[in-house]
Amino acid sequence: MIPEIGHFALILALSLAVCQSVLPMIGAQRNDAALMSIARTAAYGQFLFVAISFACLTWAFAHDDFSVLYVANHSQLSLPAGYKISAVWSAHEGSLLMWILILAAWTMAVARFTSEVPDILRSRVIGVLGFLSVGFLLFALLTSNPFERLIPAALDGADLNPLLQDPGLAIHPPLLYIGYVGFSVAFAFAIAAMIGGDLDQNWARWTRPWTVVAWLFLTLGIALGSWWAYYELGWGGWWFWDAVENASFMPWLIGTALIHSLAVTERRGLFKSWTLLLSISAFSLSLLGTFLVRSGIIVSVHAFATDPTRGFFILGFLGVVVIGALALYAWRAPSLDSNVGFSLLSRETFLLLNNVLLVVATILVLMGTLAPLVVEMLNGGKISIGPPWFEVAFMVPMIPLVLLLGLGMHTAWRKQSKDPWIRLLRTPVIVAVIIGIVLPLMFYGRVSLLLVVGCAAAAWIVISSLIQPIRSWRRKQGATAITRSALGMSIAHLGMGLFVIGVTIVSAFGVESDRAMRPGETLEVAGFAFELREVRDVQGPNYTAIEGVVEVRRDGEFIAMVRPQKRQYLVQKNWMTEAGIHPTWNKDLFIALGDQLGNDTWSVRIQYKPMISFIWIGCFIMALGGLVTVSDRRYRKSAS
Amino acid sequence: MKPRQQRMLAVGLALSGVAIAAALTFRAFDENMMFFVEISDVLAGEYPQERNFRIGGLVVEDSIAREEGSLAMTFRVTDMRCEVGVEYVGVLPDLFREGQGVVAHGRMGGEGIFVADKILAKHDENYMAPEVAESLAQHVDEQLQPLYEGSTECNSG
């Protein structure tokens, strides 16, 4: 009964979404207040019914209702209660429902927090969001109904994939989706502005906080996914340039460009059509990502098990959205741009470069991701592109980007006069270069050109993002108090600097060693002694495990006892590596237990990962910067 | 220099920077592109000679052998028609098992053995890399059709 209610609620949500996508649009066209006022109500109603539907599916999981096919496939009686809930979004159908729920939640938030936005614009924004909801609800109802029954019911479920039985992965998809789907708001604002043929600086001020919030969730989601891959996939990498990872990374890159371009549009009324194009692209890339992940056309370790009709549906929807949006753009955007000049040395120039470089980076990632598809379609054989390519290609636009970042932050809008600019930045540049040479030499005893570039760039970003906050903090009484949005920018850039340090140091000085080891044996890796004390059997709630007990010492001094495991989950019988990690702020010691090699010997992977925590700390601080930015007074005014 | 010349110089520098970057990117692309080669083609000698490529299929039952206490191992991979021996030194992925699908990256060594530097088995036991699935399905079909009999023999020379 409950699953049928869920299914029915989803159908009702679809009818409301249809109303929400059509009526307010007509109302806005005719300036009919009654029709426009439907937008809000429909948005609230749609959210309510999607939430009921989601709650029904969750109920089915919580009560082990194995007469529901999706539950039977992805849960199991002895699964811990928390994972029964997160199992709701562990596979295609449920995660699609969560996607829809999040879209409805964003729509409701737009309906609620846009009292400053004129009715006509708001109605159109909600209408566009309604159209997107219709697409996804149809997708769920026609191809991916999570409430499909299994008759006769299964006695027990097939269990949740053990890799997903992890707190990191329980919250990774929701965060990622909040980010992905959040770009739909910027998209809707862009479409609404183009339909209305009117785009001013207020438009950018209204759009910007929504975009920043979406961006910050996407940042957190990606960082969490990378962290999960690091400790849960068991082999110590943190980014694999896998097609699915790239699918989440491309919207992030374009979203980052969009935030910066919105800043120019808001402050100076420039880059309007560019901002529109980025708004369209960010969400289109989110859809493309969904398509790549769920259609199974791309080889990926993360791909969902799939069915081709789903691929066709999303591809069709993607086509409608992208072609429609671009056609509207081609028709309307040229009339929107205003002609205001700016001099060569101005913040506008730097933000333009930022955008160009981020777009180039996105195109390179897109090329690498789609190349296997294109080559196969041209009968060129089945190829794959190795991560080293992405590393090289990505670095090409990123190095100038991080170097220019610090300059741009200290450049005035419109026109910056040269002398004070050079006076301000001369010392930080010199200091950064010195740090870039000294830091790796001092702590790691080795230096190379790339290393100097990386460390100097990181130091440069950190120093230059601290200049403004420190100055304003020093002369607190003065009138030059830093605004929240400027502070947010500094914090986000600081996070970027820490991220660059982490990446540079861990890729240059990380040590990885695969060895065969017997109990009692000691191995030396990166100056640490790892002694395998014993290998024993342990029992978990729904798995049994073989556990290695490894004592780590440095110069004879005890550092830590690390316990890597190999788990066998009772239902699916899969073996899974649970790495043992000893994390400290400036390094991780990572041990994974491999197979038994016979003769009481085990294969062991030992890794030394200096500064790796800075990668995730950096991402977290970037997201924090976004949060500080949206708390700026000028956005709160529009929110209340 | 006049401002005009300055601007030309800046544009020139930027363009050459872009050109160098593009050249680097394309070279790296070529170096890191890896072909998937069917096992029958491998046995027929039709594979890239001077670079790494990928093969995939099922790990043949009872074919895993290793020196006791060492990371070095060998096994055989089949595409349901032909088999090739694989040599690998290192830690294996969790889902590596006899009878399961694998993808191996590497190149041919002497004596017709594929020397792998990376072994991939997928996260999900129900998931198989599309190219492997395709290659297997094709050969299973062929075995079901006696018409194809002539072509199912392995060219192991």
Give the 3-state secondary structure of residue B32: helix
How far apart are the C-alpha atoms of B148 and B151, rounded to whole Å?
A: 6
If phi > 0 it is left, if psi is from -120 to 50 it is alpha, else beta; for residue A520 that is left
Residues B16 and B92 placed together within one structural domain of the fold: no
What per-residue confidence (pLDDT) applies to A310?
81
Residue A202 in this model has a pLDDT that exceeds 60: yes
Summarize pLDDT for A524-573 with one digit per residue, the tens.
Answer: 999 999 999 999 999 988 889 999 999 999 998 999 999 999 998 887 77
How far apart are the C-alpha atoms of A327 and A333, rounded to whole Å?
A: 10
How far apart are the C-alpha atoms of A421 and A429, rounded to whole Å?
A: 12
Residue A490 in this model has a pLDDT that exceeds 90: yes
Instruction: Of A633, A632, A621, A587, give the one whose Cα is nearest residue A607.
Output: A587
Cα distance from B129 to chain A (closest Cα, Å)? 6
Q: Within a domain: residue B14? A: yes
Query: For B94, which of A296, A392, A574 is closest by C-beta distance?
Result: A574
Residues of chain B in contact with residue A601, where contact means CB-CB under 8 angstroms, are 68-70
Residue of B nearest to A357 (CA): B18
Summarize pLDDT for A612-638 with one digit per residue, the tens.
Answer: 999 999 999 999 999 999 998 888 765
- Per the prediction, chain A carries an average pLDDT of 90
Residue whose entry in the numeric block shows the structure tokens 């096919």: A69
Instruction: Of A596, A548, A535, give the one whose Cα is nearest residue B70.
Output: A596
What per-residue confidence (pLDDT) applies to A165?
85
Summarize pLDDT for B37-51 with one digit per residue, the tens.
Answer: 988 888 888 888 888
Structure tokens given for A387: 């991560």
Using CA of residue B106, residue B108, residue B111, residue B112, what is the dihedral sign? positive
Summarize pLDDT for A79-123 with one digit per residue, the tens.
Answer: 899 999 999 998 889 999 999 999 999 999 999 998 889 999 999
Residues B136 and B102 placed together within one structural domain of the fold: yes
In eight-state DSSP terms, residue A480 is -
SS (H, E, C) A501-518: HHHHHHHHHCEEEEEEEC
How far apart are the C-alpha atoms of A430 and B46, rounded to whole Å?
A: 56
Instruction: Of A326, A298, A279, A305, give the one whose Cα is nearest residue A383.
Output: A298
Cα distance from B144 to chain A (closest Cα, Å)? 25
Residues B28 and B49 placed together within one structural domain of the fold: no
Give the 3-state secondary structure of residue A344: coil
When pLDDT is cut at 50, 70 and 90, the band that residue A480 belongs to is: low
Residue A333 in this model has a pLDDT that exceeds 60: yes
- Chosen for mutation from B89, B91, B95, B97 (greatest number of chain A CBs closer than 10 Å) is B91
Residues B90 and B69 placed together within one structural domain of the fold: yes
Percent over 90 (pLDDT), chain B: 16
Structure tokens given for A151: 């008759």
End-to-end CA distance of chain A: 41
Residues B8 and B84 placed together within one structural domain of the fold: no
Cβ–Cβ of B69/A514 closer than 8 Å? no
When pLDDT is cut at 50, 70 and 90, the band that residue A477 belongs to is: low
Domain ranges of chain A: 1-160, 511-614
Residues of chain B in contact with residue A297, where contact means CB-CB under 8 angstroms, are 130
Residues B110 and B134 placed together within one structural domain of the fold: yes
What per-residue confidence (pLDDT) applies to A48?
98
Residues B20 and B39 placed together within one structural domain of the fold: no
Cis peptide before A152 (omega within 30 of 0): yes
Residue of A nearest to B134 (CA): A382
Give the 3-state secondary structure of residue A317: helix
What per-residue confidence (pLDDT) applies to A639?
47
Average pLDDT score over residue span A151-163: 85
When pLDDT is cut at 50, 70 and 90, the band that residue A299 belongs to is: low
Q: Distances in Å between the alpha carbon of A544 and those of A481, A566, A590, B144?
A: 59, 9, 22, 42
What per-residue confidence (pLDDT) applies to A298?
67
What per-residue confidence (pLDDT) applies to A350?
94
Structure tokens given for A596: 């038994």
Q: Which domain holds residue B3?
A: 1-33
The residue with greater pLDDT, A65 or B67, is A65
Residue of A nearest to B90 (CA): A514
How far apart are the C-alpha atoms of A311 and A317, rounded to whole Å?
A: 10
When pLDDT is cut at 50, 70 and 90, the band that residue A500 belongs to is: very high
Residues B39 and B52 placed together within one structural domain of the fold: yes
Q: Label residue A400 exposed, middle or buried (CB < 10 Å: 0-12, 13-18, 19+).
A: middle
**Number of independent structural domains in chain B:** 2
| C-alpha triplet A269, A273, A277: angle, nearest 5° | 130
Q: Which helix (H) or strand (E) holds B102?
A: strand B101-108
Residues B45 and B19 placed together within one structural domain of the fold: no
Residues B81 and B106 placed together within one structural domain of the fold: yes
Summarize pLDDT for A336-381 with one digit per residue, the tens.
Answer: 877 777 888 899 999 999 999 999 999 999 999 988 888 888 888 8
Residues of chain A in contact with residue B66, where contact means CB-CB under 8 angstroms, are 597-598
B38 in contact with A, Cβ within 8 Å = no
Residues B41 and B110 placed together within one structural domain of the fold: yes
Using CA of residue A408, residue A409, residue A410, residue A413, what is the dihedral sign? positive
What per-residue confidence (pLDDT) applies to A234?
64
Query: For B126, which of A305, A381, A577 is closest by C-beta distance?
Result: A305
Summarize pLDDT for A403-427 with one digit per residue, the tens.
Answer: 999 999 999 898 888 899 999 899 9
In eight-state DSSP terms, residue B146 is G
Cβ–Cβ of A161/B123 closer than 8 Å? yes
Model-level pTM? Answer: 0.92
Q: Which helix (H) or strand (E) holds B34?
A: strand B33-36
When pLDDT is cut at 50, 70 and 90, the band that residue A168 belongs to is: confident
What per-residue confidence (pLDDT) applies to A504?
93
Residues B26 and B100 placed together within one structural domain of the fold: no
How far apart are the C-alpha atoms of A3 and A65, rounded to whole Å?
A: 9
Query: For B91, which of A297, A385, A605 is closest by C-beta distance?
Result: A605
Summarize pLDDT for B124-152 with one digit per residue, the tens.
Answer: 545 566 677 777 777 766 655 544 444 44
Residue A479 in this model has a pLDDT that exceeds 90: no
Residues of chain A in contact with residue B91, where contact means CB-CB under 8 angstroms, are 235, 514, 592, 594-595, 603-605
Residue of A nearest to B133 (CA): A299
* Pairing between β-strand B113-120 and β-strand B83-89 as defined by DSSP bridges: parallel
Residue B157 in this model has a pLDDT that exceeds 50: no
Residue A297 in this model has a pLDDT that exceeds 80: no
Cβ–Cβ of A389/B32 closer than 8 Å? yes
Using CA of residue A62, residue A63, residue A69, residue A73, what is the dihedral sign? positive
Lowest mean pLDDT segment, chosen from A215-219, A265-269, B130-134: B130-134
B129 in contact with A, Cβ within 8 Å = yes
Residue B65 in this model has a pLDDT that exceeds 60: yes
Cβ–Cβ of B127/A303 closer than 8 Å? yes
Average pLDDT score over residue span A142-169: 87
What per-residue confidence (pLDDT) applies to B145?
54
Residue A435 in this model has a pLDDT that exceeds 60: yes
DSSP secondary structure, A397-415, as one string: HHHHHHHHHHHHHTS-SS-
What per-residue confidence (pLDDT) applies to A236?
77
How far apart are the C-alpha atoms of A392 and A415, rounded to whole Å?
A: 35
Cα distance from A563 to chain B (closest Cα, Å)? 17
CB of A234 closer than 8 Å to CB of A592: yes
Q: Within a domain: residue B157? A: no
Cα distance from B98 to chain A (closest Cα, Å)? 13
ipTM value: 0.81
Residue B154 in this model has a pLDDT that exceeds 80: no
Residues of chain A in contact with residue B24, where contact means CB-CB under 8 angstroms, are 392, 396
Give the 3-state secondary structure of residue A578: strand
Q: Which helix (H) or strand (E) holds A551?
A: strand A543-554
Structure tokens given for A571: 């239902």
Q: Within a domain: residue B12? A: yes
CATH number at residue B126: 2.40.50.140
Summarize pLDDT for A229-242 with one digit per residue, the tens.
Answer: 888 776 778 898 98
Residue A301 in this model has a pLDDT that exceeds 60: no
What per-residue confidence (pLDDT) applies to A138?
96
In eight-state DSSP terms, residue A554 is E
For residue A534, list its beta bridge partners: A549
